[in-house]
Amino acid sequence: MWTNWAGNQRTDTPLACPTSIADLQKEIAQPQSLRILGAGHSFTPIVAGGDRILDLSGLDLPILGAAEQDRVWVNANARLRDLSPALADKRLAFRNLGDINTQSLAGAASTATHGTGRDLPCLAAEITAARMIGASGDILTTDDIPLEMAQVSMGMLGVLTEAQISVVSKYNLRRQVGLASVEETLATMHQKWAENRNFEFFYIPFTGKTVELRHAITDAAESKAPRDLDMIAVKVLKLARSAGRISAGLRRALLKMLTMAQSNEDYVGESWRVLCSDRHIPFKEMEYHLPPEVAGDVLQEVLTRLHRDHKDVYFPIEVRQTAGDTACLSPFQGGPRISVAIHTDAAEDHKRYFEAIEPLFVEAGGRPHWGKMHNLSYKDLSLMYPDFDRFCALREQLDPQGKFLTPALARLFQP
C-alpha cells in the first residue's frame, strides 16, 4: 500500500522501480496507465489513481551532470536534500528553497513548489532545459516541448529524467526570527518583502501574534543551529486547543505562555540548511497564491472566519511571496503572488475549514498550489490561466491514449 506523506492519498496499485532509461522506456511501453512518484509530499491526487506508480529513486543517473557557467544538469529525480550538498561541493547552491527539502526536484518543480522572497521565483522557473521520456517511449527534450510547458506539468507530458537548472554561487544566510502583532505585520508586510531577501510570517491562531522570519545573505561566521522547536510549539498549540474545550481562559493562558516563550533567533548557516527544516507532525494543507494587492484584505477575512467559526484549528497560517515567472501552469505566471496556506491536523476533518476559506481565495483571483488541497475543476482552472487550453491541447497531442491521465486529473485538464 502506497500512501503520501500526509496519509490522505492511498493506493494498492503496484510500484515499478526502473533502474535504467531502457527499463523506464519498457515500463512506459506497457499498455496500462501510470503515474510518477516523487517523494509523495503532495496532498492532492496527482500520484495515485493510475494502474501503476513509477518510483524513479533508483534510476541510474549521476546526481550532477554537465555544468556551464550558472547552469548545471542534474538527475531530476534526486531529492533536493541530496542535490544541495552535491551543488555545495562545487561551490554552487539553489537560489531559493521551500520549507523542506525532502522532495525530488522533478516532484517539486512539477507543482511549482516555492519558498519566499519577492524577487525569488519558484523552483520550476529555475529549470532551463529538460530531458523526458514521453508516453510513446521516445526521449523528448525542451527542443521538442516548449520549456514553459515542461516546467510545471505534474507528470502529464512525460517522465522527467534530467533537468538543467539555474544556480548561484554558494552562500550563507542570516536568519532572524521575531514575534510581532498581526496588525503590525499586516501593515508592514509589503515593505518587509521589499527590504528583505526572504521574508515570511506565520500567524499563530487565537493569539493576535505572528512569528516573522527574514533571511539575508551574509559573510558573517556560521553559528550553532538553534534547536528546532517547531514540533514542540505545534504540540503546545494542540494542547491549548484541547484545554480550550474545558475553558477558553485556559487556552488563552497557554497561548500567552507560548508566545512569551518565543525567543528572538539570530542564526547564520549555509543557505539550504537555514531555509529548510523537518516537519514531523503530519498535517493537511490548502494554499492559494494571491495577487499581492489583495492579500492583506483576504488575510483579514480569513482571520475573522478562523476566530469566529473554526475554534478547533490550531495550526498556524503561513504567508509567503514568490516572484512571477513564465511557465504556463505556474501559479506565479504573469507576476508575483502572495501565498496564504491554511492547515489542519492530518488526522482531523479539514473540510469545514477549507471549504469556508477557499471561496475567499478564489474570489480574490487566487490560484491553488497544485500539490495542496483544493476543490477546483477544469472550468475554474481554465479561467485562471491564459495558457491553460494550450497546455491541455499539448497534453492531448503528446498522450492521446491518456497513459499519464487519471480520472482525478481528467477532472482538471479535460473540458
Closest distance between ligand FAD and the C-beta of residue 98, in Å?
3
Q: How many CB atoms lie within 10 A of CB 193?
A: 22
Q: Cα angle at 38 between 33 and 40, to 5 degrees?
A: 95
Return the number of the residue (115 or 244) whose C-beta is nearest ligand FAD: 115
Closest distance between ligand FAD and the C-beta of residue 214, in Å?
16
Q: What is the CA radius of gyration of the chain?
A: 21
CA dist 131 and 137 (Å) reads 12
Alpha helices in 151-226 (DSSP H): 182-195
CA dist 209 and 55 (Å) reads 42
Return the number of the residue (8 or 262) whose C-beta is nearest ligand FAD: 8
Closest distance between ligand FAD and the C-beta of residue 298, in Å?
18
C-alpha cell at 285: 494543507
Closest distance between ligand FAD and the C-beta of residue 123, in Å?
8
Closest distance between ligand FAD and the C-beta of residue 80, in Å?
8
Closest distance between ligand FAD and the C-beta of residue 96, in Å?
10
Return the number of the residue (190 or 279) whose C-beta is nearest ligand FAD: 279
CA dist 83 and 80 (Å) reads 5
CA dist 131 and 94 (Å) reads 20
Among 201, 384, 410, which Cα is nearest to 289's?
384
Return the number of the residue (255 or 373) whose C-beta is nearest ligand FAD: 373
Return the number of the residue (104 or 244) whose C-beta is nearest ligand FAD: 104
Handedness of CA 188, 101, 109, 141 (dihedral sign): positive
Closest distance between ligand FAD and the C-beta of residue 278, in Å?
9
Return the number of the residue (80 or 255) whose C-beta is nearest ligand FAD: 80
**Interacting residues with ligand FAD (CB under 6 A):** 5, 35-42, 46-47, 56, 76-77, 98-100, 103-104, 106-108, 110-111, 113-114, 154-155, 159-160, 279, 369, 371
Alpha helices in 262-313 (DSSP H): 271-275, 292-309
Q: Is 212 helix (H, G, I), strand (E, B) or coil?
A: strand
How many C-alpha atoms does 152 have within 13 Å on its Cβ side? Answer: 25
Return the number of the residue (98 or 121) whose C-beta is nearest ligand FAD: 98
CA dist 52 and 31 (Å) reads 11
